[in-house]
Structure 1
Amino acid sequence: MMPGDSSMASLVQRIARQALVTFRNPPAVGDEASKSFLENHGKLRSLMSEVRAADLKLVPRRAEDGGAPPAQHPYHRGAPPVTYMHICETDQFSMGVFLLKSGASIPLHDHPGMHGVLKVMYGKVRISCFDRLERPAGGGGALPRAEMGALRRCVLRSTGEYTEESGPCVLSPDRDNLHQIDAVDGPTAFMDILAPPYDPDDGRDCHYYKVLPGEGVKDSEQTEKEVWLMEISQPPEFWCGGEPYPGPEVCL
């Protein structure tokens, strides 16, 4: 197969190429997306809707493989509650697979200035999505810098469950940008694209939050809830290990 031939390319290869095209010139934070970006993003979501565990050579884990409660601190012995399979990364995007043991969660966290597409490969996840209600002065640029213990006024946009038969969960810099992901009824895995990748040197570090119960919570007409989130350090029960990606090679 020639490098430019897509007729026999694996589905994961086609997804990576479409991600590269889609996120080569993404809209700036606060800007309206162009027609070209929306069309390419739609193609990417369509490809992600098709991908299944077999395309990545993933073998679904059994409940007994991931049923033990995770250790309470990353320095404790034992398997991590979450592992990551790296597929590929460019300046424009990163792509990989997260695997969660039974009962594991990826705590509430943000994606500063980033787009994302998440597709479940097996099992079931519950995803709770939040948005910040603050907007930077002037309507552009990055969101206010997070600080430990700082409070953020946010809105709970949605909570939904996703399986391999579900379409992708999509986030943008302005919508569903903070989320928590919980494994439901056993081990689960999902393919994840983030654009651009996390980069602390470029202001895209991952921050963790907790919801303050009863603090200024109210129901809106759309049944969305306004909440206060407080930035916290990475929860001690959560850490992420790594394991090899078994699927088709991706060349970009």
Structure 2
Amino acid sequence: MSYFRRVNSNGIPKITYLHLYECEAFSIGIFCLPPRGVIPLHNHPNMTVFSKLLFGELQVKSYDWADASQDSTVLDVLGPPYDDGSGRHCQHYNVSSSAPSAGDSKPLPGGDGYAWLEECEPPDNFHLVGSTYMGPSIVDN
């Protein structure tokens, strides 16, 4: 499929997003990840996300960070959908090497299951390309 053959000028794979449907209650889309394609760490504020690997293989490093080891597609259903006016916009994060400098910060519990996050712009090597879904139409009743 052509969705898996796209790279930028630096040879970094581009991830293709196919928008299937959206209404006030939810949105549906498919992410097509080529090998080495990475979805960076991000949030879904005040939303619930159901994701299903349709085919391929992904290596999940944290709940929202996945590396594709082969051509892979992920179906995402978000409820409710992104809406900047309602405070539902995507924010990206870096894992910080140190705690925030605020005096009210609390130490993290021990173990590898915790990390400090800091907001950031989407990584320069993250390339998401929108494309047209050519499958059956989803219609409202």
Alignment TM class, shorter chain as reference = 0.7 to 0.9
Aligned counterpart for 1:99 among listed residues 20, 32, 36 = 32
User: 1:201 is paired with a residue of what secondary structure?
Assistant: helix
In the other structure, the counterpart of 2:123 is 235
User: 2:17 is paired with a residue of what secondary structure?
Assistant: strand
What do residues 3-56 of structure 1 show as CA deviations (whole Å, max 9, x unaligned)? xxxxxxxxxxxxxxxxxxxxxxxxxxxxxxxxxxxxxxxxxxxxxxxxxxxxxx
Matches within 5 A, 1:110-189: 110-127=43-60, 128-129=62-63, 179-184=64-69, 186-189=70-73
> How large is the Cα RMSD of the aligned pairs?
2.6
Alpha-carbon contact 1:117-1:194 (below 8 Å) kept: yes
TM-score by length of 1: 0.47
Q: Structure 1: which 4+ aligned runs deviate by more than 6 Å? A: none
Q: Which has the higher helix share?
A: 1
Structure 2 CA distance for partners of 1:118 and 1:60, relative to 1, 3 Å? farther
Q: Select the structure of larger CA radius of gyration.
A: 1
TM-score by length of 2: 0.80
Stretches of structure 2 that go unaligned for 5 or more consecutive residues are: 100-106
Aligned counterpart for 1:247 among listed residues 121, 135, 138 = 135
* 1:60, distance to aligned residue in structure 2 (A): 9.4
* 1:116, distance to aligned residue in structure 2 (A): 0.8
Alpha-carbon contact 2:13-2:35 (below 8 Å) kept: no
What is the aligned length?
132
Aligned counterpart for 2:77 among listed residues 193, 206, 210 = 193
User: 1:225 is paired with a residue of what secondary structure?
Assistant: coil
C-alpha distance in 2 between matches for 1:81 and 1:212: 26
Alpha-carbon contact 2:3-2:16 (below 8 Å) kept: no
Structure 2 CA distance for partners of 1:61 and 1:123, relative to 1, 3 Å? farther
Alpha-carbon contact 2:13-2:37 (below 8 Å) kept: no
What do residues 216-242 of structure 1 show as CA deviations (whole Å, max 9, x unaligned)? 66535xxx6221001001111112112
Structure 2 CA distance for partners of 1:61 and 1:236, relative to 1, 3 Å? closer
C-alpha distance in 2 between matches for 1:88 and 1:121: 17
* 1:206, distance to aligned residue in structure 2 (A): 0.4
* 1:82, distance to aligned residue in structure 2 (A): 0.8
Structure 2 CA distance for partners of 1:245 and 1:191, relative to 1, 3 Å? same
* 1:71, distance to aligned residue in structure 2 (A): 4.1
* 1:87, distance to aligned residue in structure 2 (A): 0.8
* 1:181, distance to aligned residue in structure 2 (A): 2.2
User: 1:247 is paired with a residue of what secondary structure?
Assistant: coil
